[in-house]
Structure 1
Amino acid sequence: MPTTSTDPSQAEPGKRSRRKEARPGELLDAALDLFVEKGFAATRVEEVAARAGVSKGTLFLYFPSKLELFKAVVRLNIAGRFDEWKLELQTFEGSSSELLRYCFTVWWERIGSTKASGITKLILSEAGNFPEIASFYRQEVIEVGQDLIRCILQRGMASGEFREVDMNYAIYLVLAPMIFLMMWRHSIGMCVPDELGITPEGYIRLQVDNILQGLCVRAQPPSPSTP
């Protein structure tokens, strides 16, 4: 009668293969947690490896340095999503006001409300000491994000929905509420009592309303009739 082999040497390769496939994702999840909790300087690769349940040597098989590990975290959680957002922008069928409101909502759902939003706080606090991570973040996140905002504003101006504005300044009208929310969420916001009823969603709605009040073209009042 045939029997099922229980030889560990036969089962082990499959286990090792599954574990190997899981390692990069586990390492990136652990690295995101630690970078947000402790910052770039204070995070040690040994801690990342330990939290992911692997050795430091295993970590270096996938990421040759802490800088490369950080870059991979940013690409997975933020920079790697820009192609998806560009496609959504290009295929959006509503008005530019609706598009701007939609972008704020989607940004909050996919980035702002997640642990990845803590990366912005890390960059703002440590960029001066680590110019290499500042340069990387500027090229792969800031500049690409600004281009997306610029496209939204240009879309509205081209259709006559938005008034002509200086684009170099206008993009920061959109960015400022996002940056504030990310800093707030990972700093003093943790101390705000729940009973105040202040929510990120409410803040976003008010900020978008304010931005659109300034951007949207208003009908000009009729000229006074001359006697």
Structure 2
Amino acid sequence: MPETRPQTLSRAGRPSRAEAEARIEELLESALDLFLTHGFERTSIDAIAAAVRMNKRTVYARFADKSALFLAAVQRAIARDVIPVAILTRLDSGDVEDSLVAIGRLRIEHFLQPAALRLQRILRAESIRFPQIADWHFELSTLPFMTYVAGLLQRAMDEGRIRTVDAAQAAAAFMSLVVGGQVRPLVAGRIPSPGDIDRRIRFAVDLILHGLLQH
């Protein structure tokens, strides 16, 4: 019986699948950095390929053009930006106010991470040219978060703690007041102190819940 050759090739030969995938990940990460630094228009495939020491033909073998590479890089960043629902579940103390404050704090702290801020800047800069990236971010990141908040509010309504309204609209108000209003200055580089962040979150949560209190 002939001797079986190992499946993994040496570095001197053709790269293994794992090595090829790692190179594509490196390509997408570098592309995202360059698109953020220089914008879509002023970033070239040549510059991206050079940044990762990759032949331009190799880039075009995987991505038809610069737009396809940009969309792949942003989609990857969005998928990595998602906060798992399991983490939100662990913040549910049973008290709707405490839970909402904890969830709002988590969301803001997440946006303070360099990768999340970078993604937000790209979304804001290029969503007009590529509207699908805003849709992807909403569907993958914002909507599951908002749906979970709606569930917390619905439970409080069912228990008679707050008056019954449209839970989805109440969750959207939470996202706008607690998250949206704070993200804009964060993206612009105006980072408030932890104390200011906490006060703003508590004020917004208090405002929402007092608007829903039983009369």
Same structural fold, with TM-score higher than 0.5 when normalized by the shorter chain: yes
2:134 — aligned with what?
Answer: 138
1:183 — aligned with what?
Answer: 187
Does the C-alpha gap of structure 1 residues 146 and 182 become closer, same or farther in structure 2, counting only changes over 3 Å? farther
Structure 2 stretches lacking a partner, 5+ long: 1-8
| Structure index of larger Rg | 1
Q: Please report how far the alpha carbon of residue 111 of structure 1 lies from its aligned counterpart in structure 2 after TM superposition.
A: 4.2
Does the C-alpha gap of structure 1 residues 216 and 58 become closer, same or farther in structure 2, counting only changes over 3 Å? same
Does the 8 Å contact 1:121/1:183 carry over to 2? yes
Does the C-alpha gap of structure 1 residues 158 and 120 become closer, same or farther in structure 2, counting only changes over 3 Å? same
Does the C-alpha gap of structure 1 residues 116 and 20 become closer, same or farther in structure 2, counting only changes over 3 Å? same
Give the CA RMSD over aligned residues.
Answer: 3.3
The letter for the 2-side match of 1:151 is Y
The letter for the 2-side match of 1:78 is I
Q: Please report how far the alpha carbon of residue 92 of structure 1 lies from its aligned counterpart in structure 2 after TM superposition.
A: 4.6
Does the C-alpha gap of structure 1 residues 150 and 211 become closer, same or farther in structure 2, counting only changes over 3 Å? farther
> What percent of counterpart residues are identical?
22
Does the C-alpha gap of structure 1 residues 76 and 10 become closer, same or farther in structure 2, counting only changes over 3 Å? closer
- d(CA) in 2 for partners of 1:27 and 1:11? 19
Q: Please report how far the alpha carbon of residue 54 of structure 1 lies from its aligned counterpart in structure 2 after TM superposition.
A: 0.9
- Aligned with 1:23: secondary structure? helix
The letter for the 2-side match of 1:208 is I
Does the 8 Å contact 2:85/2:145 carry over to 1? yes
Aligned 1:130-169 pairs, distance under 5 A: 130=129, 133-134=130-131, 136-144=132-140, 145-160=142-157, 167=169
Does the 8 Å contact 1:99/1:152 carry over to 2? no
Q: Please report how far the alpha carbon of residue 200 of structure 1 lies from its aligned counterpart in structure 2 after TM superposition.
A: 5.1
The letter for the 2-side match of 1:89 is L
- Of 171, 176, 182, 1:172 maps to 176
Does the 8 Å contact 1:31/1:70 carry over to 2? yes
Structure 1 stretches lacking a partner, 5+ long: 1-8, 190-197, 222-227
